[in-house]
């Protein structure tokens, strides 16, 4: 039986660039679901109204992106494991009359890192740049995968320390460093992950670092597909990846939460790559 018509969308601000509608609408068509995915630019002051709107209109759910991932937690009826662990939600699901918050960034990154990039963090060292919801998701994913040591670098040392604590609670070694120490640290670890928006507009990041063939670098920025950080790391022999892979993995997990059906990953991936390529 084909489920009835339904709708979902993405809540963010300013939400100038989002690939989610393209990725999900292709997936709905592929599985012949009568669903549509919309774009909802919502300023922070109106987030409460937007969530009430989801309830009133009985949306099947929503994705949540910057800057709402933490703020929305208070507005939901319930949150699940990973979302609760890191205090950030990227997927909302309507269950009966309740709005339930999930976080698919954690599992999405883990699947991408091991399955697509072929890197096993077990016992290895990692540097995570940033201290927002994305950085927390990455640290949680790495500790779930048994990483040996995580260092978090951010402009605000207190924020970096808060994110690093997520790793410390599981027995992994953790540290927080200032932004100025990141380039040196990046040259020494097994894995570097950029969980900041830097690179979206062509900004260089870790330009003083030297990478080598044993290292893996993942930049969560998905547009442009190859940021200055990715280009630099590749040119120095490291295995370097942009953010499209994780974008698809977390989108597929959201899709499965809403629809209860297996996500058509190949179709979603092709749509994302095509859209991002045309954009540049």
Residues with catalytic roles:
69
Kindly state the DSSP code that residue 74 receives in the 8-state scheme. Answer: G
Separation between Cα atoms, residue 86 and residue 137, nearest integer Å? 7
Separation between Cα atoms, residue 135 and residue 197, nearest integer Å? 11
**How far are the Cα atoms of 35, 167, 272 from residue 259, in angstroms, in the given order?**
10, 32, 20
Distance of CA 64 to the CA centre of its chain: 11
Distance of CA 192 to the CA centre of its chain: 15
Cβ neighbourhood burial of 121 (10 Å; 0-12, 13-18, 19+): buried
Separation between Cα atoms, residue 17 and residue 163, nearest integer Å? 26
Q: How many CB atoms lie within 10 A of CB 178?
A: 12
Q: Is 43 helix (H, G, I), strand (E, B) or coil?
A: coil
Kindly state the DSSP code that residue 41 receives in the 8-state scheme. Answer: E
Separation between Cα atoms, residue 140 and residue 135, nearest integer Å? 9
Residue 258: both structure tokens together: 């809403």
């Amino acid at each position: 039986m084909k489920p009835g018509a339904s709708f979902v969308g993405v809540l963010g601000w300013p939400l100038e660039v989002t690939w989610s509608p393209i990725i999900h609408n292709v997936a709905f068509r592929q599985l012949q679901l009568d669903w549509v995915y919309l774009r909802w630019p919502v300023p922070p002051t109106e987030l409460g109204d937007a969530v009430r709107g989801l309830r009133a209109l009985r949306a099947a759910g929503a994705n949540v992106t910057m800057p709402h991932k933490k703020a929305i937690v208070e507005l939901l009826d319930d949150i699940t494991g990973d979302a609760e662990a890191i205090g950030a939600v990227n997927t909302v699901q309507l269950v009966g009359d309740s709005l339930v918050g999930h976080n698919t960034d954690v599992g999405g990154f883990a699947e991408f890192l091991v399955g697509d990039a072929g890197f096993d963090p077990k016992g290895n060292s990692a540097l995570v740049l940033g201290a927002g919801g994305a950085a927390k998701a990455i640290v949680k994913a790495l500790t779930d995968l048994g990483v040996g040591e995580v260092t978090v670098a951010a402009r605000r040392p207190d924020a970096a320390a808060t994110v690093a604590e997520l790793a410390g609670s599981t027995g992994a070694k953790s540290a927080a460093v200032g932004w100025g120490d990141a380039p040196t640290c990046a040259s020494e670890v097994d894995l570097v992950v950029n969980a900041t928006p830097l690179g979206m507009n062509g900004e260089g990041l870790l330009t003083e670092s030297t990478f080598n063939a044993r290292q893996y670098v993942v930049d969560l920025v998905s547009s442009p597909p190859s940021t200055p950080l990715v280009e630099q790391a590749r040119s120095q022999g490291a295995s370097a990846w942009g953010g499209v892979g994780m974008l698809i993995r977390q989108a597929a997990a959201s899709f499965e939460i809403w629809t209860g059906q297996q996500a058509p990953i190949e179709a979603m991936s092709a749509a994302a790559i095509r859209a991002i390529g045309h954009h540049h």
